[in-house]
Amino acid sequence: MEKLKILVVDDESRMRKLVRDFLTKEGYEVIEAVDGSEALDRFYEDNGISLVILDVMMPKIDGWEVCREIRSQSQIPIIMLTAKGDERDELQGFNIGVDEYISKPFSPKILVARVNALLRRSNKLDAEERLEAGGIVLDKTAHTVTIDGKAIELSFKEFELLTYFMENQSVALSREKILNNVWNYDYFGDARTIDTHVKKLRSKIGDKGDYIKTIWGMGYKFETT
């Protein structure tokens, strides 16, 4: 299978190397650019780029302008990296078409998890039919779940919820995001239904329920470590 190409744009060579090393280890091909101008050159030279990781503060052309230009030509996923933590910057990013917004310093493992999730959502990655984590084995085709080899019964929504958690390991998921992805955008119920389902799911998977961490005031994160 041909490797998916990711364009990494950052004027700091240390940051590019860090991101490149983790993405290469994950099996991606990485194309680098040191500023906004070179980023656009790379983007127009190679129509096989599947995702862009883009720093905001760069010489020549900043990340905002690069994002606007790319978004005018393509709907490929864009992850914006920035040292700023200002909510206004984050909102500006989403308003011009950024898919994910990650503030520096960040965990490279989290970045890779978000890359995987975005590419899966955009159908660039073949969705894994069998998910495994910490003794939990979930088979999407057979619609079965086993815990340390023992089968457990889950309702349809509990199964979908566990699938979404396992596909987004180590990623902080807001209640709104969970609602939109598991219950879909046309669901108009109360977000508290998520808390009810999480409680039932934790109970059914026993000790493994500890993998579903509560992020107070935000949502949940599935982590086996």
Return the CATH number at 215: 1.10.10.10
112 and 27 in one domain? yes
179 and 96 in one domain? no
Say whether pTM exceeds 0.75.
Answer: no
Structure confidence at residue 45 (pLDDT): 93
Structure confidence at residue 118 (pLDDT): 84
100 and 34 in one domain? yes
195 and 172 in one domain? yes
152 and 50 in one domain? no
Structure confidence at residue 225 (pLDDT): 79
200 and 138 in one domain? yes
Structure confidence at residue 107 (pLDDT): 86
Structure confidence at residue 194 (pLDDT): 87
Structure confidence at residue 98 (pLDDT): 85
**DSSP state string for the chain:** -PPPEEEEE-S-HHHHHHHHHHHHHTT-EEEEESSHHHHHHHHHH-TTEEEEEEESS-SSS-HHHHHHHHHHH----EEEEES---HHHHHHHHHTT-SEEEESS--HHHHHHHHHHHHHHTT-SPPPSEEEETTEEEETTTTEEEETTEEE---HHHHHHHHHHHHTTT--EEHHHHIIIII-TT--S-THHHHHHHHHHHHHTGGGGGGEEEETTTEEEE---
Question: What is the number of structural domains in the chain?
Answer: 2
Instruction: Going residue by residue through the chain, which has 225 residues, state the pLDDT in tens, using 9 for 90 and above.
Output: 568 999 999 999 999 999 999 999 989 999 999 999 999 999 999 988 999 999 988 888 989 999 999 988 888 899 988 776 666 666 776 778 888 888 888 888 889 888 988 887 776 655 567 888 999 999 887 889 999 999 998 888 899 899 999 999 999 999 888 888 887 644 555 667 889 899 999 999 999 999 999 999 899 999 987
Range of the domain at 134: 130-222
Structure confidence at residue 186 (pLDDT): 47
Structure confidence at residue 82 (pLDDT): 79
Last residue of a domain, one of 60, 86, 121: 121
